[in-house]
Amino acid sequence: MKKQLLMAELKRQGKAPKKRLWVFLALTFVLLVAAGGFWYHANLQTRLEETFQKGLALRQAGKYVEAVELFEQLHDEYPDFVRIPQSLFQAAEIQDLYLGRYSDAVLTYLLLERDYPEAAEVVPARKQVAVLYKYRLKDCSQAIAVYQKVLDQSGPENDQLQYEVADCYFRLNNFAQARIEFGSLRKNHPQSPLIAEVQYRIAMTYALEGKLPEAAGAYRLVMERWAESPYALEASFGLATVLEEQEELLEALKILESLTGIYPNQAILERKTAQVRERIEKKKKAI
């Protein structure tokens, strides 16, 4: 029995070093794998950053197609790279400003918004989409929807964004809704530098709808409250036009003559003045 216990103990002691060796080797392997993974990840981030910077350099050098392809490749292959929102924004901006690929730019901006909704580039991307729809693709209906989405988040440019919405409705010949949007801007941003122009545009909506008394009142308001604004001159010309349509020719002529030498477009002023004088003369002869 003692002999058996002794043999068992010797056998156990003989196995113990081997077991510890395997444990040591396993731990060493795990550490090497972890270190290798860390090195690969750190090195990958460095290489991705270098690729991003290369894209910026390509843009700077005027190699726009190559820059877009590189930024798009970054997104396709490494969507989790921290610079991807910036890469997509850069690609869309190049497509818009330098390549004239406006629809592609819209899709790239929308891809940025969809895949990276928390990125700092999302709000600027939305604004650019609205600009693309309005000024590049001539689609004011789509632009309105995007502008409204941006307006849901208050910001320092909200008066300008509200103006763009109103102007979109104006371009769509929806003068009643344009007037509502201009009115909202005037109410919500009374200190905006756009206010004089906004009031002038409100007067224009009335005039274009044939609501002449309302148009005259709106034009007079611009002339009284913002007399030093360039829009006061435009409002004076607009008022003279409304008065002419209302057959108040003498008052219209008086206003037009007061604009001589100060109205920006003297050629148009001279034609309008001559037209009103001619109508006055015809009216006198008719009497």
Give the residue from 125, 154, 182 where a domain finishes: 125
User: How far from chain centre, in Å, is Cα 250?
Assistant: 47
In CATH, what number is assigned to the domain containing residue 185? 1.25.40.10
pLDDT digits (tens, 9 = 90+) for 220-258: 999 999 999 999 999 999 999 999 999 999 999 999 999
* Whole-number pLDDT of residue 284: 83
Q: Do the domain assignments include residue 167?
A: no
Residues 89 and 179 in one domain: no
Give the residue from 68, 103, 125 where a domain finishes: 125
Confidence of residue 35 (pLDDT cuts 50, 70, 90): very low
* Whole-number pLDDT of residue 156: 87
Residues 100 and 198 in one domain: no
Residues 177 and 119 in one domain: no
Instruction: Measure CA of the first residue to CA of the last residue in the chain; give whole Å.
Output: 148
- Mean pLDDT calculated for residue range 67-81: 97
Give the residue from 65, 97, 125 where a domain finishes: 125
Q: Do the domain assignments include residue 38?
A: no
The total domain count for the chain is: 2
In CATH, what number is assigned to the domain containing residue 96? 1.25.40
Residues 107 and 195 in one domain: no
Mean pLDDT of all residues belonging to the chain: 90
Task: Please report the sign of the dihedral spanned by the C-alpha atoms of residue 203, residue 206, residue 210, residue 214.
Answer: negative
Query: What is the rounded distance in angstroms from the CA atom of residue 214 to the CA atom of residue 205?
Result: 10
Query: Is residue 32 over pLDDT 70?
Result: no
Half-sphere exposure of 257 (CA within 13 A, CB side): 8
- pTM tops 0.85: no
Q: Do the domain assignments include residue 263?
A: yes
Residues 192 and 121 in one domain: no
Query: What is the rounded distance in angstroms from the CA atom of residue 176 to the CA atom of residue 182?
Result: 10
* Whole-number pLDDT of residue 21: 54
User: Which of 192, 224, 190 has its CA nearest to residue 203?
Assistant: 224
Query: What is the rounded distance in angstroms from the CA atom of residue 191 to the CA atom of residue 206?
Result: 23
* Whole-number pLDDT of residue 42: 60
Residues 95 and 201 in one domain: no
The answer to whether 186 and 205 have CB atoms below 8 angstroms apart is no
Query: What is the rounded distance in angstroms from the CA atom of residue 244 to the CA atom of residue 26?
Result: 97
Confidence of residue 176 (pLDDT cuts 50, 70, 90): very high
Residues 213 and 269 in one domain: yes
User: How far from chain centre, in Å, is Cα 173?
Assistant: 23
Task: Please report the sign of the dihedral spanned by the C-alpha atoms of residue 207, residue 269, residue 246, residue 282.
Answer: negative
Query: Is residue 50 over pLDDT 80?
Result: yes
* Whole-number pLDDT of residue 266: 96
Residue 251 is part of which domain span? 173-287
Residues 177 and 282 in one domain: yes
Instruction: For 41, list phi and psi in degrees, rounded to 5.
Output: -65, -45
Q: Indicate the residue type of 193.
A: P
Residues 211 and 276 in one domain: yes
Residues 285 and 181 in one domain: yes
